[in-house]
Amino acid sequence: MPTWGALPVEFRILGPTTLVVQGKRRHLGVRKTRGALAVLLSQPNTVVSASTLVDALWGEESGREPRHLQPVISKARNALSVCGPRVAIDTTADGYRLRIDDSLAVDLFRFRELVNRARAARDGERLDEAEQLYAEALGLWSDRPLHELDTPRAQTMRDPLRGEQTAARVALHDIWLDLGEHDRVEESLRSALLGELDERFAAQWMRTLHQTGRTGEIATYFRTFAHRTRLEVDAEPSAGLRRLHDDLIARATTVEPLSGRGVVVGLPRAQAHFVGRGEQLRSLDHALAPNAIVAVDGPPTVGKTTLLVQWAQARRQRSPDTLILYTDLNGYSVSAPKGREDVLVEFLRELGSVDIPTSPVEQLAHLRARIGDRRAVFILDNARNSAQAERLLDLTGSAPVVVSSRQRLNGLIVRRGARRITVPPLSDADAEELLTRRLEDRVTADPRAMRDLIGFAGGLPMALLIAAEQIAARASVSVRDLVDELRKESRLLDVGSDGPDTAGTLRTIFSWSLDALAEQPRRLLTLLGLHPRPHFSVGAAAALGDMTRAEAGDLLDLVVDAGLLDRDRAGRYRMHDLIHSFVTDRVGGPQWVDHRQTATVQLLDWYLHALGAARDLITLDAHRVPPVGPREPIEPVVHGDAAEALRWSVTEHSNLVEATRLAARRGHHHHTWRFAACFNDLLQRHGDTRTAIEVNDLGRRAANLVREVEGEAGCLNNLGLTYLAGGDPHTAALHLTRANELFERIGNSYGRAVSLHNLATTHLERDQLDEAATAYRQALRTLLEPGGAPDKVSWSVAQVHLRLGDLHLRRAEYDLALAEYARARLLRVALKDERGEALVVSAVARLHLSRGNPAEAIAHGGDALARHLSCVDLVSTVNTLCLLSTAHLDLGELPEAVDTARRAVSFAHDLANLRLQADALRTLGLAQARSGSPTDAATTWRRAAAILRSLSSPEAAVLESWVDDLPL
């Protein structure tokens, strides 16, 4: 649509005369005004005589004169004023001329331009392109042109325009006939034949009857058409139409139908190790009925062909008289995709035809005759897309059709009403059965290695069988070594070929799907190989592709339809591990070297920006981590509030860990230490001590490399906190001392106070209470020095008061401890720090338990527990559950004690904090022992002791002695 200035303008005269500006219809006035505009727009930039306009508007016998046009033209000019000076009606000596800068603003001239392009495409044998262009051109027609005028002159002007429309319809029908789209020809011609006596339509109808095996109906139709011609126009059908009739009748050959029982045409051998798929087999049975179409899809190598072959063989046994015709359409293959004529000839040969006609029309008639009245099922396997399959549907008559593709066949479903069946990866149980059938005893030789193999093969039968062949062929090598070898460096993608022929490898099969994508989705999928995990959000994909979320979503939908990606939930996607390995290798190629660096930085920027924004909302430590640079992502994540930021952080936890590792691996040091600084609080909540140590150490090293002293000191401080949480105050003190020295060197008094506070906690955990008290008070004095930021100071001062309360609790100074907790809580409430307040409430619960008030401990502990869960503080959740279990024990509430301890063990099991797991198990063992279940207690304490031994903790021996004292 032409755009004049900021105004997209469109005139429509192929139906009711309409002006559309910026997508909105504009009022063009009364009927005569619209009719005059239609006449002028049909001949833009050309003078239309006044007499022609008078005759078109009022008729030749109306007695109207040219002067009667003046008010009509005046109203037309007013209506066009919205278009500005580029559209105007000029008065000339002979009449009027509608002047317009671009005639393509008028739908009639866009129609003609599209028709000309369609003819050129047809001449160049680009039938798909020609079909699209003709369809687009005809779509511009909504009704008769010069719609508002009914005079004889208007009809004279209208007839040639309708002739252009009919010519375009005829041309489109010819293309459909060449493409075998007989259903579409029939649908279009049924209405045309009722309204128009056009021999071109009649010829196309007879050709359609012949090509769809209904040659016997041609003679009856021709007699009816000839009768109408004589009746309505007093003429006989032309000699050309009669010759076509005679030729089609003569071409109808007599072919003997197949005899004997059921025949299976072209079906491959059934897979020897077929497992599972009961649901899909039942769905195929239930879906088939006359005229039914079933669209089977699933990712590459998931076993669609194997499923269809198994189903066809079973159907043959149940229904021996059924004729099953199978073909591989080569949609994804080293061979070219099969066309309609290829499939026709293939079926005829498989059915034993010797003298195969050369004409596709006669071939189809021959095929229908060979099938005869037999019950038949067509299986069109490995289609490229819906379009390839749709061109073959006329071959199948009314027989049911099963079409398979790794592409989702949305076109068949929407346009043809096909029923969709998706083939998913095998379940772990079915995958194990498949390996057992192939490898027998070797599966049981190393069950853990087999579980690992099933895990990274991801339920793809072809991957499992390729791996099984490698294991079976190398009996002298351990299963574990073979599985590790296949997993290493994408080895599984490249095994399974026959010498230099790589067509049977997973890499080649995946490449057929990737290369079949259009350029933009193919580029985005390849760039997703840079994402460190196969699970990601649309926002991360947008960052990699340097595009908006909407643009990325549209492209990802195409990749999902191609079977290379799955939707996880709203806005999130998952890729099969092997496909992710494949695209990771692809993007690692030399042609992607420039894209890799840019896209990786964009991805890291996006994650870091979102993580930093989440940290600022979730944690009330006002010590902000400085941004990595001035450039924001194209469409950054915007967290509505702290709860939303926390949900995002929990969802993206694994991706954030991997993004930190990626930044370190690629040498993006400024990103690395900032990831560690922003991520620490969330890692502490999850209790993932091992990962927190790794991330903070990566951050420390990165900050040191780029001489970011404050960043290095911050990461050292966080390392110290992590070792503290893991029960290693000695190592924590080493890191915190170094952090304190660096903060002092750069004059950062706040950082010095925080690290000093954390050093004090290492003294507290080692029962060095006097040293702890001195350090806490020194940290408090430093924080309260003039010049500190109020928010920053309040948050940290509250933390010091909380720890001073813990110190007084160790000394059994309960009133002093309560006073410190009260000060801490007041500051937390003022800051609206729910997590910090929850920690204070937990501390008060511990105090009441120590003081011998278990009921008060339960009341405060229950309040704290709800807050911890709300803040996703899982470490504090486990600790509070252990406290509550102990309080229930003290009250003699044994069932409640056991249940609460079990909850603690369950939460701890999902964390990577081994010490926390041991604490939860120790608490559960105490509850079980007190409840009269010594055997259960022994089992639980042994599990806890094993964990503590792995940590080289002397507490393991204590638990073992408890087991020895049980009355077993």
Smallest CA-to-CA distance from 599 within 496, 654, 686, 523 is with: 523
- Count CB neighbours of 274 within 10 A: 16
Smallest CA-to-CA distance from 278 within 248, 314, 317, 244 is with: 314
Q: How far is CA 650 from CA 214, 535, 783, 909, in A?
A: 65, 14, 32, 17
- The order of strands in the sheet holding 47-49 is 47-49, 95-100, 87-91
Rounded-to-integer distance, Cα 529 and Cα 576, Å: 12
Predicted pLDDT at 112: 94
Contact 616, 790 (CB under 8 A): no
DSSP state of 257: P
How far is C-alpha 546 from the geometric centre of its chain's CA atoms?
Answer: 17
Q: How far is CA 390 from CA 132, 181, 296, 418, 563, in A?
A: 15, 7, 14, 11, 20
What is the amino acid identity at position 525?
Answer: L
How confident is the model over 869-927, as pLDDT tens digits? 988 888 899 999 999 999 999 999 999 999 999 999 999 887 778 888 999 999 999 99
Predicted pLDDT at 403: 97
* CB burial string 698-708: b at 16+ within 10 A, e below: bbbbbbbeeeb
What is the amino acid identity at position 441?
Answer: D
DSSP state of 832: T
Rounded-to-integer distance, Cα 447 and Cα 429, Å: 13
How confident is the model over 69-112, as pLDDT tens digits? 999 999 999 888 888 788 899 999 889 999 988 777 899 999 99
Rounded-to-integer distance, Cα 872 and Cα 499, Å: 54
Q: How far is CA 674 from CA 542, 640, 745, in A?
A: 22, 22, 21
Place of tokens 């200035």: 5
How confident is the model over 299-347, as pLDDT tens digits? 999 999 999 999 998 888 788 788 899 999 999 988 899 998 899 999 9
Question: What is the largest distance, in Å, between two alpha-carbon atoms of the chain?
Answer: 123
HSE-up (13 A, CA, CB side) for residue 70: 3
How far is C-alpha 214 from the geometric centre of its chain's CA atoms?
Answer: 46
- The order of strands in the sheet holding 419-422 is 264-265, 323-328, 376-381, 401-405, 293-297, 419-422
Predicted pLDDT at 250: 67
- Tell me which H or E stretch contains 324: strand 323-328
Residue 567, SS3? strand
Query: Which is it for strands 376-381 and 401-405: parallel, antiparallel or unpaired?
Result: parallel
Rounded-to-integer distance, Cα 706 and Cα 710, Å: 11
Rounded-to-integer distance, Cα 204 and Cα 949, Å: 86
Q: In DSSP terms, which residues pair with 78 in a beta bridge?
A: none
The token pair at 691 is 């990962």
Rounded-to-integer distance, Cα 553 and Cα 572, Å: 10
Find the helix packing angle between 577-587 and 519-527, rounded to 10°: 100
DSSP state of 625: P
Predicted pLDDT at 824: 93
- Sign of the Cα pseudo-torsion (106, 110, 113, 115, in order): negative
pTM, two decimals, is 0.69
Residues of the chain with pLDDT under 50: 1, 3-7, 259-261, 789
Rounded-to-integer distance, Cα 148 and Cα 42, Å: 14
State residue 707 phi and psi, 5-degree precision: 60, 40
Q: Report the helix count and the strand count for the chain, using DSSP H and E.
A: 44, 16
Can you spell out the DSSP letters for 340-387? HHHHHHHHHHHTT-SS--SSHHHHHHHHHHHHTT--EEEEEES-SSHH
